[in-house]
Amino acid sequence: MSAVTEKRQFKRTSTTREAYLSTPQLAPLACVIVNYCPQGVMVRLTAQLNAPLSGLLHQLVTLKFIAGHDGASVYRFTGQVKRTAVDTLGIEVARFHPDTYQELSRSSVSETSPSPPEVSNAIQQAALISLCQEYFSPFIQSVLTSFFERIESAANETSMGAI
């Protein structure tokens, strides 16, 4: 199967985890892990690289990120650059250490939604219903009033014409 028609085996999970990317040839570069799956990660470089990203294609890179606000735990993993774009790299990871993958999962859940998806969806739905009622109630009321006034005036004209 070609790379163009290849179907993804795993769903990607979005996150915003600050990290540092390094290779034997480059000093550490600031980046952000934007999504991940069991096969690898997608990172967006936040630091300027003087060379084109395509030069990193098929190279081994090491990513390092710090867990928590206190910086107590540092997680590292190594992977091979498989895809490059303007400012992003797709990095294939042969095997995530379970703790590293768990920390990535924890960061995506805690940073994107403080509660389970069902709860946040219900909150969003309630807010949407409230906004709809606030903005559409006066409009609907005026449309209905206008409609019934027209019916009443048409009925009056019909009854006057019959006399």
Segments making up each domain of the chain, as ranges:
13-112, 115-163
156, two tokens: 């009056």
Handedness of CA 153, 157, 158, 159 (dihedral sign): positive
Tally of residues, the chain: 163
Residue 74's CB is within 10 A of a number of other CB atoms, namely 10
- Token pair, residue 127, equals 């807010």
Q: What is the pLDDT of residues 60-115, one digit of tens each?
A: 999 998 876 556 688 889 999 999 888 889 999 988 888 888 888 876 654 444 44
H or E stretch at 76: strand 73-84
| Whole-number Cα distances in Å, 128 to 118, 121, 134 | 15, 10, 10
Which percentage of the chain shows pLDDT scores above 90? 15
CA distances to 23, 34, 36, 104, 116 from 112, rounded to whole Å, are 30, 12, 14, 12, 10
The CA distance from 156 to 109, in Å, is 64
How are beta strands 88-92 and 73-84 bridged, if at all? antiparallel
pTM: 0.58
Query: Which pLDDT score is estimated for 91?
Result: 92
**Fold type of domain 13-112:** Thrombin, subunit H (2.40.10)
